[in-house]
Structure 1
Amino acid sequence: MNSVPANRRLWNRISSDYQHRHDPRIGAEPRLWGMYSVPDAHLGALGDVTGKRVLELGCGAGQWSRALAAEGAAVVGLDLSEAQLAAAARARGADRYPLVQGAAERLPFATGAFDLVFCDFGGLSWAPPHLAVPEAARVLRPGGRLVFNVASPWFEVCYDETAARVTTTLQKDYFGLDTIAEGDGATTYQLTYGDWIRTLIRAGLVVDDLIEPRPAPDALNGYNETEPSDWAHHWPAEMLWVTHKP
Structure 2
Amino acid sequence: MESIPANRRLWNQISGDYQDRHDARIGAAPRLWGMYSVPDAHLNALGDVTGKRVLELGCGAGQWSRALAAEGAQVVGIDLSEAQLDAAASAMGADRYPLVQGAAEQLPFADDSFDLVFCDFGGLSWAPPHLAVPQAARVLRRGGRLVFNVASPWFEACYDEAASRVTTTLQKDYFGLSGIAEGDGATSYQLTYGDWVRVLRGAGLVIDDLIEPRPDRGTTNGYNETDPPDWAHRWPAELLWVTRRPSTTE
TM normalised by structure 2 equals: 0.97
Structure 2 equivalent of residue 221 of structure 1:
221
List alignment gaps of at least 5 residues for structure 1. Answer: none
Runs of 4+ in 1 over 6 A off after TM superposition: none
Structure 2 equivalent of residue 171 of structure 1:
171
Comparing 29-38 with 91-100, greater Cα deviation is found at 91-100
For residues 104-130 of structure 1, give each alpha carbon's deviation from its aligned partner in whole angstroms, at most 9, with x where no partner exists: 000000000000000000000000000
Structure 2 equivalent of residue 78 of structure 1:
78
Cα 1:111–1:62 change in 2 (3 A) is: same
Answer yes or no: is the 8 Å Cα contact 1:66–1:94 preserved in 2. no
Q: Which amino acid aligns with 1:62?
A: G
Structure 2 equivalent of residue 35 of structure 1:
35
List alignment gaps of at least 5 residues for structure 2. Answer: none
Answer yes or no: is the 8 Å Cα contact 1:116–1:140 preserved in 2. yes
Structure 1 equivalent of residue 8 of structure 2:
8
For residues 60-84 of structure 1, give each alpha carbon's deviation from its aligned partner in whole angstroms, at most 9, with x where no partner exists: 0000000000000000000000000
**Cα offset, 1:92, TM superposition:** 3.5
Structure 2 equivalent of residue 96 of structure 1:
96
Q: Which amino acid aligns with 1:170?
A: L
Q: What count of residue pairs does the alignment treat as equivalent? A: 246
Structure 1 equivalent of residue 230 of structure 2:
230
Structure 1 equivalent of residue 17 of structure 2:
17
Structure 2 equivalent of residue 66 of structure 1:
66
In structure 2, how many angstroms separate the alpha carbons of the residues matched to 1:47 and 1:176?
Answer: 34
| Pairing 1:73-222 to 2, within 5 Å after superposition | 73-93=73-93, 96-222=96-222
For residues 159-211 of structure 1, give each alpha carbon's deviation from its aligned partner in whole angstroms, at most 9, with x where no partner exists: 00000000000000000100001112100001000000000000000000000
SS state at 2:22 partner? helix
In structure 1, how many angstroms separate the alpha carbons of the residues matched to 2:177 and 2:45?
Answer: 26
Cα 1:131–1:94 change in 2 (3 A) is: farther
For residues 132-169 of structure 1, give each alpha carbon's deviation from its aligned partner in whole angstroms, at most 9, with x where no partner exists: 00000000000000000000000000000000000000
In structure 2, how many angstroms separate the alpha carbons of the residues matched to 1:2 and 1:58?
Answer: 18
SS state at 1:147 partner? strand
For residues 77-108 of structure 1, give each alpha carbon's deviation from its aligned partner in whole angstroms, at most 9, with x where no partner exists: 00000000000000042751000000000000
In structure 2, how many angstroms separate the alpha carbons of the residues matched to 1:27 and 1:121?
Answer: 15
The two structures, once aligned, show a CA RMSD in angstroms of 0.8
Identity of aligned residues (%): 83
In structure 2, how many angstroms separate the alpha carbons of the residues matched to 1:151 and 1:184?
Answer: 22
In structure 1, how many angstroms separate the alpha carbons of the residues matched to 2:27 and 2:231?
Answer: 24
In structure 1, how many angstroms separate the alpha carbons of the residues matched to 2:51 and 2:2?
Answer: 35
Answer yes or no: is the 8 Å Cα contact 2:151–2:238 preserved in 1. yes
In structure 2, how many angstroms separate the alpha carbons of the residues matched to 1:147 and 1:9?
Answer: 27
**Cα offset, 1:47, TM superposition:** 0.1
Answer yes or no: is the 8 Å Cα contact 1:88–1:94 preserved in 2. no
In structure 2, how many angstroms separate the alpha carbons of the residues matched to 1:166 and 1:119?
Answer: 23
In structure 1, how many angstroms separate the alpha carbons of the residues matched to 2:114 and 2:209?
Answer: 20
